[in-house]
Amino acid sequence: MSRKKIVLYQPQQVDRGIGPRCSGDMLPLEMLCISSLLVREGYEIQIIDANLYDEEEGHRRAVEACEGALLYATSGILGYMVTDGFNCSTKVKAEHPKLPMIIGGWFASVRPDLQLGTGLYDAVVLAQGEFSFYEVVKAIESGTKFDDIAGLALWRDGQVFKTEKRPVVGWEKLPNLPWHLIDIEPYREMQLRSDSHRQILRMPTPPAIGSRKPYFGITYFSSYGCPEPCTFCCSPIVTDRRWKAMPADRMLDDLADLKERWNFDVVRFHDANFGVMQKRVKEFADGMLSRNLKFHWNAFLETHSILSYKPEVLDALAASGLYIAEIGAEAGTDQMMSKIGKPISGDDNINAAVEMDKRGVCSSVTYIIGYPGEQPDSMIATIDQCRRLHVAAPLARPTVWPYRPIPGTVMWDQAVSMGYRPPQAIKEWGSIGEYHLEETWPGKIPPHVAERRKLYQHFVTLSYGLARGKIGWWEKRAEKRLRENNFKGALWEARAFDVFNRVEKKLRPREEVSRSWVDPGHKTGTAGNAASKSSKAMTGATHG
């Protein structure tokens, strides 16, 4: 049996207990990253992506793979990944008590105490992982201590001990991802099922392919970190506001190779901030066009980046296949925005969405209300900016979500000092990830604001034709209300629609319509419930 076998477990993204699978385009990028240096040296790397299996099956495979392995490692982002990672690691530990176990990723980086306190792990790899993990593997192999390896958190005398901080490295030091480690077929198969539009976190089908038609997409990673200082996001603390990006040409070469090999339709960039450098963005778009590379793509782009790009760069982005710009609009007042720290003011968010709209690109725009100390009039102003953005940029899908505290952020400390009670046990941290279903910090949004938000969501959902799969009398009325900012008698109208809709559905049964367009990055509640008692559509999409 190989002594150089490394088992990497990518936890489930979503709790299968609450719905369908996670979108099949989400490749285990973290695991590919940390394999990249080791695979060159002949290590046998086995990645078990739990999203491909039922929960028990994923765990069983991980436990089995660990037989004769050198080490086991896993990852996780706040949310269900944390719970599933814990569950799997617990089973691995029970079967292989002597096997070294390592964890890394965003949640472990901000709460190493919780992960090390489980007694499961020998070390937490903090932040960027490639080099730290490489050195950890070498240390395990040679039986040396971890203390001299930079970028780790270790458990010493019941406390966290952090080794020297590791500076963020650039892509010139990092190899391309070892894509051959994954078998793409199960990902493709999952996405080409006729009901794949229902998968959680599925991005909408590019309009050129056809509404709700299955498509084959992959995730891709071309930059690490983010230069923004956002106080609700943990990236500034984890990555020191460094941003390291792969040069456009290298990215194009790699994607061209992959396209040749896998022939995907869509690339979903999982960079925190794809568009920091206009030059790179321009080179990428121009390169797509000059190489005649054909795929649709979406990425996180900031409002101020979009507004700083030259018109011809925006044109090239659209021409090269950009079909969704994911924009973190965050807040609708200058005062709140300055507390967040993003260089956005006035109607910048609206103007950016209009620039995209003009070029046929959908902006998936997320606003947040209920930040620590935020006043109700500020929240109402945010909902109103969201409404105005919808009116000004009809292709855009702007949404407003309640704030959720994220550990390792400036606002986390504020929330805790204002009475937010974080979960204690690691499993509770996982369950708060089902952020589509519950408010993480209830009671922070006054009832009149919550009602306005629900009414906005109700009318906007209706106006897209998502409730009934068509645009009729109710839909046109909804759009008129949004255009005129008229919420008089709106609650009664929403309730009346709910009753009408239920009766109509009984008389003429119809297929449920996907609402992924409301918030392409995330699953939301069911149509028509926005003004009802259900708070299913609550979430907190707080990407920087």
Strand pairing category for 223-225 and 296-300: unpaired
Which of 348, 524, 531, 352 is CA-nearest to residue 453?
A: 531
Residue 37 or residue 455: which is nearer to ligand B12 going by CB?
37
User: Alpha-carbon distance 310 to 277, whole Å?
Assistant: 12
Residues in a beta bridge with 162: 153
> Identity (one letter) of the amino acid at 496?
A
In the bound complex, what is the minimum distance in angstroms from residue 407's beta carbon to ligand B12?
6
Residue 223 or residue 385: which is nearer to ligand B12 going by CB?
223
In the bound complex, what is the minimum distance in angstroms from residue 268's beta carbon to ligand B12?
9
For 510, other C-beta atoms within 10 Å of its C-beta total 10
In contact, 267 and 220? CB cutoff 8 Å: yes
In the bound complex, what is the minimum distance in angstroms from residue 19's beta carbon to ligand B12?
13
Residues in a beta bridge with 11: none
Residue 315 or residue 438: which is nearer to ligand B12 going by CB?
438
In contact, 516 and 523? CB cutoff 8 Å: yes
Provide the 8-state DSSP code for 346.
Answer: T
Cα 163 to chain centroid distance, Å, stands at 29
Residue 47 or residue 317: which is nearer to ligand B12 going by CB?
47
The CA radius of gyration of the chain, in Å to the nearest whole number, is 23
For 147, other C-beta atoms within 10 Å of its C-beta total 12
In the bound complex, what is the minimum distance in angstroms from residue 200's beta carbon to ligand B12?
9
For 185, other C-beta atoms within 10 Å of its C-beta total 9
In contact, 42 and 32? CB cutoff 8 Å: no
Provide the 8-state DSSP code for 200.
Answer: B
In the bound complex, what is the minimum distance in angstroms from residue 228's beta carbon to ligand B12?
9
In the bound complex, what is the minimum distance in angstroms from residue 14's beta carbon to ligand B12?
7
User: Alpha-carbon distance 216 to 111, whole Å?
Assistant: 35
Residue 236 or residue 528: which is nearer to ligand B12 going by CB?
236
In the bound complex, what is the minimum distance in angstroms from residue 199's beta carbon to ligand B12?
12
In the bound complex, what is the minimum distance in angstroms from residue 177's beta carbon to ligand B12?
8
In the bound complex, what is the minimum distance in angstroms from residue 435's beta carbon to ligand B12?
5
Residue 14 or residue 460: which is nearer to ligand B12 going by CB?
14
Residue 317 or residue 410: which is nearer to ligand B12 going by CB?
410
Residue 300 or residue 456: which is nearer to ligand B12 going by CB?
300
Residue 233 or residue 538: which is nearer to ligand B12 going by CB?
233
How many residues are given for the chain?
544
In contact, 205 and 212? CB cutoff 8 Å: yes
Q: Which two tokens stand for residue 62?
A: 């991980």
Residue 125 or residue 482: which is nearer to ligand B12 going by CB?
125
User: Alpha-carbon distance 389 to 21, whole Å?
Assistant: 32
In the bound complex, what is the minimum distance in angstroms from residue 543's beta carbon to ligand B12?
5
Residue 233 or residue 518: which is nearer to ligand B12 going by CB?
233
- Contacts of residue 267, defined as CB under 8 A and 6 or more positions apart, other chains included, come to 217, 218, 219, 220, 255, 295, 296, 297, 298
Signed CA dihedral, 64, 181, 320, 313: sign only: positive
Residue 171 or residue 500: which is nearer to ligand B12 going by CB?
171
User: Alpha-carbon distance 431 to 311, whole Å?
Assistant: 44
In the bound complex, what is the minimum distance in angstroms from residue 471's beta carbon to ligand B12?
29
Q: Please, is 290 exposed, middle or buried when counting C-beta atoms within 10 Å of its C-beta (0-12, 13-18, 19+)?
A: exposed
Which residues make up the interface to ligand B12 (CB under 6 A)? 13, 26, 29-30, 33-34, 73, 75, 77-81, 102-107, 110, 125, 128-130, 133, 201, 221, 224, 226, 233-235, 270, 272, 300, 404, 406-408, 433, 435, 521, 540-544
Q: Which two tokens stand for residue 230?
A: 């956002």
In the bound complex, what is the minimum distance in angstroms from residue 135's beta carbon to ligand B12?
10
In the bound complex, what is the minimum distance in angstroms from residue 536's beta carbon to ligand B12?
16
Q: What angle do the packed helices 490-507 and 473-484 form, to 10 degrees?
A: 160
Phi, psi of 216 (to 5 degrees): -110, 115
Residue 205 or residue 463: which is nearer to ligand B12 going by CB?
205
DSSP 218-240: EEE--EEE-----TT-SHHHHHT
Q: Which two tokens stand for residue 410?
A: 């400036």
In the bound complex, what is the minimum distance in angstroms from residue 304's beta carbon to ligand B12?
17
Residue 382 or residue 463: which is nearer to ligand B12 going by CB?
382
